[in-house]
A and B are shown apart, each in its own frame.
Chain A
Amino acid sequence: MKNLFKIFTVLIIVVISVVSCQDYLDVPVNGQIIQDNFYNTDDEANAAILTAYDVLTWNMVWDWVAPVLVKTLPSDESTAGGANFEDQLDYNTLDDYVYDEANAKISGFWALNYFGIYRANAVLDFVEGDTDTKARIRGEALGLRAYYYLELVSMYGDLPLLTTTLITPEEYDRPRSSTSEVYAQIESDLNAAIAALPNRSEYSGSDLFRLTKGAAMGLLAKAQVFQEKYSEAASTVQSIVDSGEYVLEEDFGSIFGLDGEFGSGSMLEAVFTNTESVAWGTEPWARPKEWETNVHIQLMGPREGAFGGESAGNNLREGWGFNYPSPKLYNAYIDAGDEERRLATVISEQEWIDGGGDFSGDAHDYNGFIRVKYGSKLTENSTEEGSAAQLSYTTNWRLLRYADVLLIGAEGAANSGNESQAREFLNMVRNRAGLDDSTASGGDLIDAIINERFLELAFEGFRFHDMVRWGRAADNFDGFQSGKHELFPIPAQELLKAESLTQNPGW
């Protein structure tokens, strides 16, 4: 009996120790990278920041949503196109100002930028700046977060302002912060990024896609102009010029080719590659984050069937017919005598045909002109075996160019009374395009800068917001209603999910 009680006592002790042992439930979760175990090494930090960049190219994740196209279509640069109005309906409604709060491009553009912000926030939450590389990566994350917020604030106004990923379900609903609060965050992030980031010249060639001190300053200048902090913007741009880090490419036509990627005037690009080649039948429709090529270039080629294959003389082939240039844009180049930039931006139907192309019949939304900038160029897709030409364009989106920043500087200077500085910035851009110096002043100078942005930056997604902030949208955009269309509507689904959100005026 004593033995039995001994056994019993031992059993009780063992049982109590096992049952009360908290560690018993700590079982490794195999096959998943747990956040708590990640973000430690330089390589892990790098993989994390790459995701924050990658979102710039997630143009297929919310169906077809390329920010540059979403921002371009409401402007007077182009028409939507496609097979018909129903083809990519939400791109078409955007173009014709018949879009509503449920427009999938508007909600996709919103989501894309916020997904970018989340990934930048993840780096800022979890990567410590304890090595040079990690400190720089934190700077990149600050710059990227500012970039994404700048995209959002210029299109939607007041925004939910999130600066961390540590969100509990109770915090899923939050109100919008005012535009000025958002800009304050953008400026603060950019100033921190400027301090943390190297100059472009300090990066090796394979790192040129990263945010630089100069890019952060360029974004800051834009944010300043958007807030009408004109003199600050002018001085920011002057610092970029003085740094000597950027030089306008001599030949405007070379900028948008593959050879022009990360050229001397390039400040930020969204990078597409053919590392994972795509063929018909192997498209990653189900894994859209894994699209590595720029399929929108194919989407935006002249409509197949209508344009007869290719126009070799113009280095263009047909695509799916979106984003046709407007006659107004074409005429602006003619009026300005700006052939160098026109030929790199827009050609006429006759030029297409002269280059060996064909045009047989009608194409939806087509107005007689064919786009060259971001065109479906014969030489810009992979010729590798296993790659479909139409699916393997790798054209980078040029997100920030020195010329853009110079014109922002000109606008800042002109509006803050420093006209000579304004003309200096303006003429740098004009001269590169082979145009004479402008001597305009006063209102003419402002008009000259505005027209210069039209010619220099066509199809790069800036025109709509520029015209809105200049108060010229209603006069120039067919269908634009003042008091409503200045801002995109907050996506309808977001209002349903977050009750504290408010809708923009007019919606």
Chain B
Amino acid sequence: MKKHWNILSNKWMMSLIVCLIATIGYGQREVSGVLTDNAGSPLIGATVIVPGTATGTITDVDGSFSLDVPQDATELQVSYTGYESMMLDITNQSRFESLALAEATELLDEVVVIGYGRQEKSVVTGAIGSVKVEELATRGPGQIQSNIQGKVAGIAITPTSGAPDAGFKVKIRGTGSNGPTEPLYIVDGMRTSDIRFLEGSSIASLEVLKDAASASIYGAEGANGVILISTKNGTDNDGISYSANYGVQQYRGDMELMSSSQLADYFTRAGVADSIVSNIDQNTNTDWIDELFVNAPTTRHNLSFSKGNDKTSIFLGAGYFNQDGILGGGDISNFRRLSANLGLNSQVSDRISINANFTYANEQSRGTGFGDVNIGGTIASAILMDPSVPVTYDGALPDHVIAIQNAAAGTQLAADDNGNIYGLSNDVTTGEILNPYIYLNLINGDGTKSNRMFGSVSGTLNLLEGLDVTTRVGTDLTFGTFHNWSPSYYANPTRQATAASSVFNNFNNVGVQWENFLTYNKSVSSAVDLDLLAGTSIYQFTSSGLNANASGLFSELQEFSYIDGSESSTEVIGFNNRSRLQSIFGRAVLTISDRYILMGSLRRDGTSLITNDRYKVYPGLSAGWIVSREGFFGQGGALNFMKVRASWGQAGSLSSIGQGAGLASLGFAGLYNGVATADPNSLPNPALTWETSEQTDIGVDLGFFNDKVTFSVDWFNKLTRDLLTPGAAADFNGNNNPLVNAGTIRNRGFEFELGYRNSVNNLKYQVFANLTTLDNEVTELANGSILQGNGTVGTNWNATAFQLGQPAWYYRGLQSDGLNEDGTPIFVDVNEDGEITTDDYTYIGDPHPGVLYGATIRLEYNAFDFTLFGQGVHGNEILMGVNRIDRPGNRSTVFLEDDFFAPATSGDAYFSDFMVFDGSFFRIKQIQLGYDLGSIIPGFNNLRIYGSIEDYFTFSSYPGLDPEIGSNSDSAQGIDRGTYPIPGRIMGGISMNF
């Protein structure tokens, strides 16, 4: 070993001497040339620099460049986006005629991040989707998931609502559970379930592991796929970047509401009592949707600094993102994020390298949960509210309002900041259906504020040639508060509060992970490469906090809403839960003759969530054959690349299992003889375990015309077994049923990805399209049981169910069979008992799209660039759940004018497929036009300005606010209870590097 050190020392000495000699010969000379593409067209604006210095230039309209370089310069680097960069040896040459840059053949040379490593894309044997991260920073939405939507085949991403801080339901290859189906996020090696803190411009790569062989290296948490994100570490191109954009968001739906006269006419036809119809003031017409939605701004600024050399690189970034909501504006719904991130990579010695990536984010959000409320949502109120009522009264109060004021018995009627009382319906709309501004008036306070520290540090030690050991510690800390207070108010007997109330919660989430792994990379012979991985991982997550609420504020002001003891009553509930994971894993990749690839992996995971059988082993196997590298494969044909691959594996999902699940435990179930009892909660199920999904994937990757055209197709079949479902123990077993592992769900389908890139003269164009087919079915469930979801619609319709032979959480209700002559609906008597009852409920719709697709067209012409991106779903259905069945006065959407809803008593229509609509839609997500001023204004490598419109045009037949229906509830997807619509945006922005 000592000898080795000496050799190294000598090398260092040598390079020092070389440097010294080079410095002695100081002077300048000119190097020039002409740059073209393969077809001979000039490349305009290509960068030509002396590596490691600030000396450089760009090519002109003829592709020519001329540069004064130091005498000692030996190399010149030529680079151009979309082309292979090139090193020119200038020691003996100063003039380069017609330099042809080869177009980048991304498919072959891209490196993709895989679990605990990297792999060249050409030899990947699993199904891994990559997202082009350059696009992440230029879009309006601040969260990463919205920018993956439509970009990768096989992933369905639905925002839970259009609210600025709303989360997403991300489903990779279908709905793989009756419970949560969120993928695992791995950011710089650290696991998390929430990536809202990430600023798009700080991301270096984003990969989606879709097949089980790729995801099984993440074992117990890989069943729903894995999204791998790496943040930037700095490059050896020094520079400062700044980007900013500003946008205006607006409601883009076209839902029509009844006018006062339409409503009066409809009520008359529907047989509503005259006494109510006559309360409709036909001289007043309020369009509550117009009144509720406002134009709202979104703003983003990013500044980053990157510096590096061959030993150390560093990236520093700072970001500001603010999005106000179109519902009520920024005071009501808002998301703001301040973030700073650091990426550091250093080769400390020739055997030790260290790496650190940290992000700090300060987040503030308000207004989650609008709309996704069964009864009394703000948006549902706007849809159903009496149009004959003004937003506020600015003159004398009408008689009915004076009567309500009297009924309020001293509690103030809700009023705006100027003291004008909010309009109240004269018994036309009643109960929870209110002037939506009264609901907005209940939202005060700070909302959710949190500080997040996320990151990891790692050190890698090179032990022998090809053998490295890495240790990595990651942390994920969130400390936050939630605060809201509501004044006392009176609207009607159902909606009132005689005292002000306040909620102030504190939460702390601490995740800590420590991983160690050995990697060994060895060419066993000239034809055989071996890649080995073995490692360990432990992870602990602690969630603790206190939730406090109070009523009777000292004074109805924010200052007294922090539960400081002056309230008349307070209640505090605390929690402190901890879970742990303990894992070992390994993987071997064998590459033979660069064309046969075999991969096998194993992971053994243990969890603290359950007590028995805590450990499970997850295997993964895959193989690939690069046919185009065979000797028999003719060169020079249209097909230049062909790979066939297959994978199989198993992975688990812990997210559906709760702490202490399956344990025998006791709770309080009342008193006996006045003394507290201790009641066994349910039958124990010590054998309870978590779900396992098993997936087979077969795929083909093709490249045509030197990869100008690329095409991939995958077929997958994913079975998720051991679903956690309520047991089917008969009552004689003597207690409530525990969760048992009884159920299988199958997702299968095809994924297609097509890429086409070419250039004609100065026009470069690229087309990327993807299409996925999905088929979802419950293939096993105990004893014909039907599970009920959280899909309560109206007062008592449980509209979603989970049942053998059906898609997960399909809509279940009455099936219609046309209309009678009098306009009343006819329903199918499914059980043929002569009556239409809840026993006739049957399948009436599927919330899952059968087809997902997305397409991007990108054009570049000289300094101009243009992007058109659209995304759509097909074959799913939406259940419109905003209508109040029990209150005839609360039905004012225009499409309900159809005759079948008359007379008003035919309430069964609201429990039926009359409320189910085609949910297919196509949305143009982005139209962007950019221009790079970098070639005009000196001093900038890049100075791009752009304008875009986003989420602006939607093609759909759905008559509600927005066909993109989100819900936080896994078992109530696709139910529109007045969902916060996705706003359209008009954006303008700038980005620069200097």
A: residues with CB less than 8 A from B are 1-2, 4, 7-8, 11, 15-16, 18-19, 21, 24-36, 38, 44, 46-48, 50-51, 53-54, 57, 107, 110-111, 114-115, 117-119, 121-122, 159-160, 162, 165, 167-169, 172-173, 206, 209, 271, 273, 275-276, 287, 289-292, 491, 493-494, 496-498, 501
Contact = CB atoms under 8 A, between A and B. Distances in A.
B670 interface: yes
Contact of A51 (B665, B677, B783): B677
Interface stretch (B158-166, B656-664, B948-956): B656-664
Given A122-B680, A497-B728, A497-B783, A27 B734 contact: no
Contacts of A47: 675-678
Nearest to A112: B731
B538 A24 contact: yes
Interface string B286-297: 000000000000
B575 A291 contact: no
A203 to B, nearest CB: 12
A22 B683 CA distance: 27
B580 interface: yes
Contacts of B1: 1-2
A496 B732 CA distance: 13
B742 to A, nearest CB: 8
Contacts, number: 190
B670 A54 contact: yes
Contacts of A33: 665-667, 678
Contact of B579 (A27, A57, A271): A27
B579 A494 contact: no
B516 A11 contact: yes
B544 to A, nearest CB: 9
Given A50-B672, A114-B734, A172 B684 contact: no
Interface in B630-682: 659-660, 663-667, 669-680
Contacts of A167: 683, 729, 733
A115 B737 CA distance: 12
Contacts of B516: 11, 15
Where chain A touches its partner, the secondary structure class is helix
Contacts of B666: 33, 35, 38, 48
Given A33-B665, A273-B671, A114 B684 contact: no
Contacts of B673: 50, 53, 206, 209, 271, 273
A496 B785 CA distance: 10
Given A4-B461, A31-B575, A38 B678 contact: yes
25 contacts: A15-B516, A18-B536, A25-B608, A27-B578, A30-B576, A30-B577, A33-B665, A51-B672, A51-B677, A53-B672, A54-B670, A54-B679, A57-B672, A115-B731, A118-B735, A119-B679, A160-B732, A167-B683, A169-B685, A169-B727, A172-B728, A273-B671, A289-B670, A289-B679, A501-B730
B222 to A, nearest CB: 19
What 9 A-B pairs have minimum CB-CB distances, sorted nearest first? A118-B734, A35-B664, A47-B678, A29-B660, A290-B670, A111-B731, A54-B672, A289-B669, A497-B730
B687 A169 contact: yes
Contacts of A497: 728-730, 783
B6 to A, nearest CB: 12
A15 B536 contact: yes
B735 A115 contact: yes
A7 B729 CA distance: 55
A134 B114 CA distance: 60
Contacts of A114: 731-734
Given A15-B536, A24-B608, A54-B669, 14 more contacts: A18-B514, A25-B606, A34-B665, A35-B663, A47-B678, A48-B666, A111-B731, A160-B730, A165-B680, A165-B734, A168-B686, A169-B727, A169-B729, A172-B727
B784 interface: yes
Nearest to B607: A25
Interface string B446-467: 0000000000000001010000
Contact of B665 (A35, A54, A273): A35
Contacts of B578: 27-28, 30
Contacts of B463: 8
Contacts of B579: 27
Contacts of B352: 4
Interface in B350-378: 351-352
Interface of B: 1, 4-5, 351-352, 461, 463, 469, 471, 514, 516, 536, 538, 575-580, 582-584, 606-608, 614, 659-660, 663-667, 669-680, 683-687, 727-735, 740, 783-784
A29 B583 CA distance: 21
Given A290-B669, A494-B730, A497-B730, A8 B469 contact: yes
Contact of A8 (B461, B514, B663, B680): B461
A493 B461 CA distance: 64
A25 B220 CA distance: 15
Contact of A36 (B664, B680, B732): B664
Nearest to B674: A275
Among B583, B608, B729, B733, the one with the most A-chain Cβ atoms within 10 Å of its Cβ is: B733
Contacts of B461: 4, 7-8
B677 A34 contact: no
A258 B687 CA distance: 48
Given A165-B680, A271-B672, A172 B665 contact: no
Contacts of A209: 672-673
A18 B732 contact: no
Contact of A48 (B351, B469, B678, B686): B678
Nearest to A122: B680
Nearest to A276: B671
A195 to B, nearest CB: 25
B499 to A, nearest CB: 17
A127 to B, nearest CB: 11
Nearest to A148: B734
Nearest to A120: B734
A160 B734 CA distance: 11
A6 B606 CA distance: 29
A117 B674 contact: no
B663 A117 contact: no
Among B677, B678, B685, the one with the most A-chain Cβ atoms within 10 Å of its Cβ is: B678
B361 to A, nearest CB: 28
B799 to A, nearest CB: 21
B233 to A, nearest CB: 23
Nearest to B516: A15
A169 B5 CA distance: 65
Among A27, A54, A498, the one with the most B-chain Cβ atoms within 10 Å of its Cβ is: A27
A501 B730 CA distance: 10
Contacts of B674: 273, 275
Nearest to B782: A497
A61 to B, nearest CB: 9
A169 B514 CA distance: 37
A32 B665 contact: yes
B196 to A, nearest CB: 27
Nearest to B5: A1
A32 B607 contact: no
B102 to A, nearest CB: 42
Contact of B678 (A18, A44, A287): A44
